[in-house]
Structure 1
Amino acid sequence: MERSEPDAADDNAMDSFLEKFQSQPYRGGFHEDQWEEAPWFGVTLSRPDLCCCRQMEQAKTYKDEGNDYFKEKDYKKAVISYTEGLKKKCADPDLNAVLYTNRAAAQYYLGNFRSALNDVTAARKLKPCHLKAIIRGALCHLELKHFAEAVNWCDEGLQIDAKEKKLLEVRAKADKLKRTEQRDMRKAKLKEKKEQTQNEALLQAVKVYFEDEDRAELYRVPPKSTLLQVLQHPRYFVKALTPAFLVFVGSSPFCKNYLRGRKVHQVK
Structure 2
Amino acid sequence: MASLQQQQGDDSDDGMDEFMDKFKKEKYKNGFNESTWEEEFDRVPMFMKSVPDVIDSSTHPELACIQHIIHDDDRSPEEHAEALKDEGNSYFKEKNYKRAILAYTEGLKKKCAETNVNAILHTNRAAAHFHLGNMRSALNDAAAARKLKPDHLKALIRGAQCFMELRLYTEALHWSEDGLQLQPTDKKLQELRAAADKQKRALERDARKAKVKEKRERGEKETLLAAIKERGIKLLKPKQPSKRRSDSEDEDVGPADMAGRELDGLTSQEATGVRVSLDEQGSLQWPVLFLYPEHQQTDFISAFRESSSFVDHLAVMFSEELPPWDVDRKYLPQNLELFFEDYEKESLHQVDPEQSLLKVLQHKRYFVKAGSPSFIVLVKDSPFFKLFLSGKKLQRL
**What does 1:68-107 correspond to in 2, within 5 Å?**
68-107=90-129
Shift of 1:240: 2.2
What are the superposed Cα offsets for residues 124-182 of structure 1, whole Å, 9 maximum, x if unpaired? 11101100100111111111111111111111001101101100011111111111111
Q: Would you say how many aligned residue pairs link Structure 1 and Structure 2?
A: 182
Counterpart contact for 1:52–1:90, Cα < 8 Å: no
The equivalent of 2:346 in structure 1 is 240
Is the helix fraction higher in 1 or 2? 1
Q: Secondary structure at the match of 1:163?
A: coil
The equivalent of 1:205 in structure 2 is 227
**What does 1:139-150 correspond to in 2, within 5 Å?**
139-150=161-172
Structure 2, unaligned runs of 5 or more? 1-72, 235-253, 262-342, 350-356, 365-397
What are the superposed Cα offsets for residues 231-254 of structure 1, whole Å, 9 maximum, x if unpaired? xxxxxx931299x9xxxxxxx985
The equivalent of 1:223 in structure 2 is 258
Q: Of residues 71, 82, 89 in structure 2, which corresponds to 1:60?
A: 82
The equivalent of 1:16 in structure 2 is none
Q: d(CA) in 1 for partners of 2:216 and 2:140?
A: 41
Q: Of residues 133, 136, 155 in structure 1, which corresponds to 2:158?
A: 136
**What does 1:119-134 correspond to in 2, within 5 Å?**
119-134=141-156
The equivalent of 1:174 in structure 2 is 196
What are the superposed Cα offsets for residues 26-46 of structure 1, whole Å, 9 maximum, x if unpaired? xxxxxxxxxxxxxxxxxxxxx
Give the partner amino acid of 2:209: K
**What does 1:109-124 correspond to in 2, within 5 Å?**
109-124=131-146
State percent identity of aligned pairs: 52
Give the partner amino acid of 2:193: R
- TM-score in terms of structure 2 length: 0.42
What are the superposed Cα offsets for residues 57-111 of structure 1, whole Å, 9 maximum, x if unpaired? 1111110000001111111111111011111111211111000000001111111
Counterpart contact for 1:209–1:221, Cα < 8 Å: no
Q: Secondary structure at the match of 1:159?
A: helix
Counterpart contact for 1:52–1:91, Cα < 8 Å: no
Shift of 1:209: 5.6
Give the partner amino acid of 2:199: L
Q: Secondary structure at the match of 1:206?
A: helix
